[in-house]
Homo-oligomer: A and B are copies of this chain.
Amino acid sequence: MADYTPPLRDIKFVLRHIADLDEIIEYPGFEHVDPETVDGALDEAGRFMAEVVAPTNRAGDEIGATWADGHVTTPDAFKEAWRKYVDAGWSAVTGPPEHGGHGFPETVGFAVSEMFVSANLAFSLNPMLTGSAITVIRDHADDELRDTYLEKLVTAEWTGTMVLTETEAGSDVGALRTKATPNEDGTYSINGSKIFITWGDHDLSDNIIHLVLARLPDAPPGTRGISLFIVPKMLVNEDGTIGAWNNVETVSIEHKLGIHGSPTCVQAYDNSIGYLVGEPNRGMGYMFAMMNQARREVGLEGLGISDRAYQQAVEYAKERTQGRAIGTPKTEVSPIIEHPDVRRMLMTMKAYNEAARALLYDTAAAGERMHRHPDEVGRRASSERVALLTPVAKAWCTDVGVEMTSIGVQVHGGMGYVEETGAAQHYRDARITPIYEGTNGIQAIDLVMRKLPMGEGNVVRSYLDEMAALDGPLGETDDPRLTAIGRSLSTGVASLSDATEWLLACEDPNDRLAGATPYLKMFGVVAGGYYLARLALAAAAEDEDPWLDAKIDTATFYAEQLLPTALGLLPSVKAGAAGLFAIPIEGLETAK
């Protein structure tokens, strides 16, 4: 497997020109953060991910996490990298200072996560889930629980999980059946079986703190009757030391298509002690509050793995010689990177990745601003923006991840199908991302049914207006590439507006649901063009430099060749549900 090069210049460029990190670090609470510290931290994180974590990716796939007698064992390479990760304090970058964290903006932590994902997706899921647990406990648990758990999670001495899914409760979490029975001492006895628990057990830390959704007796049915509990793997004594095992049994782990290094556990809770987080029956609300964060992190997984696949494809295409490009002397062979078709594959990967990165970091920055912006108007606007963009960031970027890792395989030709090369691992690993943390179908439904109607459609309209307004600055430059980008973007935005207004005006929910997935894809493709155009404008404003000039060329390629595909989706957005249901179920079955 090829080395990983942290894309630091790209990340910093996006942090500056899309996320506007310079503004964020001026917010209250970030007095200790300045641009140089951020740059230094990112450089150091990039070095760590490339040198310590990235080399563990193959072992994670080949050896994988294994299960025996109720315990999960991770590859030795993971244990060593994890120790270094904890020792170096990378887990604590964004953690609250009062609980052992360094208090960096979450947008900076997002950049560190991107590099972690690229280095080893399966491994990175452990800190990612722990981060979700930290958010939930920080925001909703009482002081005693926070004092007991937060610092150990922030420093990664312990890790955290999210325990939601049951066999009959996947996308429909409200169908879950795990029970929580109050005990006399204020704790609860948790009983039930859960599946799909990422990093639900492992041998990297002494304790694992499970955040478990369960029902209290007499709870209302559905999502309004779900409560959230902290259920540690090992009980914690009053002095903070580890006590008895809490009857959290890891029954098995899944044999999966990819992310073999990440144990996906089936667990049984048998009178395990749980501690209620927040109010009874409010569990789903707490989970939803954390979910935007988790969903954009999954979108980031799509990008991270796609970027690693891209880097590997470029290296291979430079080294592999085959055939002669037009104009090459007959006595020579060409590296395949000189062939137009291979160049198309690489440019496609590069352009989608950079578009996805900008969309993701804009979403993450909005997620930070919704809590941190000093004024109420700014917080509300950011909160609406993050609500709108999260389903697109999650679904579009993970679909892009799957497609780009497939192109990565293709660049390698026959070698791409051989596992030793590593291209196939990216393809397998990426495939989980459109599924978990709400399938991409669920994201599309969220976008169309809940997000578009926000503010009677004015939240999405304001985003569309912002995209359309870029036509002004793009047309004002004397670079014809930027003018061309502006034209393509305007056409794309007009088509997306058409789709949006159709959905907003549509009265039949089935018709809206029918158009959800093509609409989300259209949204992603057009938004990607918008972000690349912004990056191109930013590049044009700086002194000339081949790297900056490439930003304009990348945006041009995208605008001319990828963005127009969005227009082909408009008919399916507006087709309604009738065509999908014209054939009855029996007619979908195969006739002998």
Let me know if B344 and A46 touch, CB within 8 A: no
Let me know if B590 and A10 touch, CB within 8 A: yes
Let me know if A546 and B586 touch, CB within 8 A: yes
Let me know if B431 and A427 touch, CB within 8 A: yes
Q: List residues of chain B with CB within 8 A of the CB of A314.
A: 588-590
CA distance A590 to B572 in the complex (A): 37
- Tell me whether A172 and B333 are in contact in the complex, defined as CB-CB below 8 angstroms, given that A5-B592, A414-B196, A561-B579 are known contacts: yes
Distance of A339 from chain B, by nearest CB (Å): 7
Let me know if B323 and A419 touch, CB within 8 A: no
Let me know if B564 and A10 touch, CB within 8 A: no
> Nearest chain-B residue to A552 (Cβ)?
B582
Distance of A156 from chain B, by nearest CB (Å): 26
Let me know if B419 and A435 touch, CB within 8 A: no
Which A residues from 295 to 338 make CB contacts under 8 A with B? 307, 311, 314, 318, 321-323, 326, 333, 337
- Tell me whether A590 and B428 are in contact in the complex, defined as CB-CB below 8 angstroms, given that A419-B256, A514-B344, A577-B340 are known contacts: no
Distance of A470 from chain B, by nearest CB (Å): 20
Let me know if A510 and B326 touch, CB within 8 A: yes
- Tell me whether A406 and B427 are in contact in the complex, defined as CB-CB below 8 angstroms, given that A170-B322, A414-B165, A580-B344 are known contacts: no
CA distance A46 to B344 in the complex (A): 41
Let me know if A592 and B9 touch, CB within 8 A: yes
Distance of A3 from chain B, by nearest CB (Å): 10
Let me know if B546 and A410 touch, CB within 8 A: no
Let me know if B311 and A172 touch, CB within 8 A: no
> Nearest chain-B residue to A320 (Cβ)?
B170
- Tell me whether A435 and B410 are in contact in the complex, defined as CB-CB below 8 angstroms, given that A567-B568, A568-B566, A575-B560 are known contacts: yes
Partner of A322, one of B172, B339, B417: B172
Partner of A579, one of B171, B326, B346, B560: B560
Let me know if A322 and B171 touch, CB within 8 A: yes
Partner of A417, one of B10, B256, B406: B256
Q: List residues of chain B with CB within 8 A of the CB of A553.
A: 579, 582-583, 587
Let me know if A546 and B254 touch, CB within 8 A: no
CA distance A195 to B321 in the complex (A): 17
Q: List residues of chain B with CB within 8 A of the CB of A10.
A: 590-591
Partner of A561, one of B172, B513, B571: B571
Q: List residues of chain B with CB within 8 A of the CB of A546.
A: 584, 586-587
Which A residues from 251 to 285 make CB contacts under 8 A with B? 254-258
Let me know if A569 and B579 touch, CB within 8 A: no
> Nearest chain-B residue to A546 (Cβ)?
B587
Q: List residues of chain B with CB within 8 A of the CB of A513.
A: 326, 339-341
Distance of A327 from chain B, by nearest CB (Å): 8
Q: List residues of chain B with CB within 8 A of the CB of A550.
A: 582-583, 587
Q: List residues of chain B with CB within 8 A of the CB of A441.
A: 339, 341-342, 345, 410
Partner of A420, one of B8, B255, B564: B255
- Tell me whether A418 and B256 are in contact in the complex, defined as CB-CB below 8 angstroms, given that A323-B172, A592-B6 are known contacts: yes
Distance of A353 from chain B, by nearest CB (Å): 10
| Contact of A176 with B by CB under 8 A | no
Distance of A280 from chain B, by nearest CB (Å): 22
- Tell me whether A547 and B591 are in contact in the complex, defined as CB-CB below 8 angstroms, given that A414-B436, A568-B565, A580-B344 are known contacts: yes
CA distance A344 to B326 in the complex (A): 43
Q: List residues of chain B with CB within 8 A of the CB of A7.
A: 590-592
Number of interface residues of A (CB under 8 A): 106
Let me know if B547 and A560 touch, CB within 8 A: no
Distance of A31 from chain B, by nearest CB (Å): 29
| Contact of A424 with B by CB under 8 A | yes
CA distance A42 to B319 in the complex (A): 48
Q: List residues of chain B with CB within 8 A of the CB of A181.
A: none
Q: List residues of chain B with CB within 8 A of the CB of A168.
A: 321
| Contact of A347 with B by CB under 8 A | yes
- Tell me whether A347 and B428 are in contact in the complex, defined as CB-CB below 8 angstroms, given that A561-B572, A561-B575 are known contacts: no
Let me know if A344 and B517 touch, CB within 8 A: yes
Q: List residues of chain B with CB within 8 A of the CB of A567.
A: 567-568
| Contact of A202 with B by CB under 8 A | no
| Contact of A532 with B by CB under 8 A | no
Let me know if B343 and A581 touch, CB within 8 A: yes
Let me know if B257 and A427 touch, CB within 8 A: yes
- Tell me whether A556 and B571 are in contact in the complex, defined as CB-CB below 8 angstroms, given that A255-B420, A428-B257, A514-B340 are known contacts: no
Instruction: Mark interface residues in A417-444 (1 if CB within 8 Å of B CB, else 0).
Output: 1111000100110011011100111001
> Nearest chain-B residue to A336 (Cβ)?
B171
| Contact of A509 with B by CB under 8 A | yes
8 A-B pairs with the lowest CB-CB distances in the bound complex, closest first: A568-B568, A565-B568, A561-B572, A553-B582, A257-B424, A341-B441, A9-B591, A340-B513
Interface pairs (10), CB distance under 8 Å: A5-B590, A6-B592, A8-B592, A172-B322, A196-B414, A257-B424, A414-B435, A557-B579, A560-B572, A561-B575
Q: A339-B441, A340-B513 are in contact. List 10 more A-B contacts (CB 8 A).
A: A6-B592, A7-B590, A9-B592, A170-B322, A171-B322, A256-B424, A326-B513, A402-B406, A410-B441, A560-B572
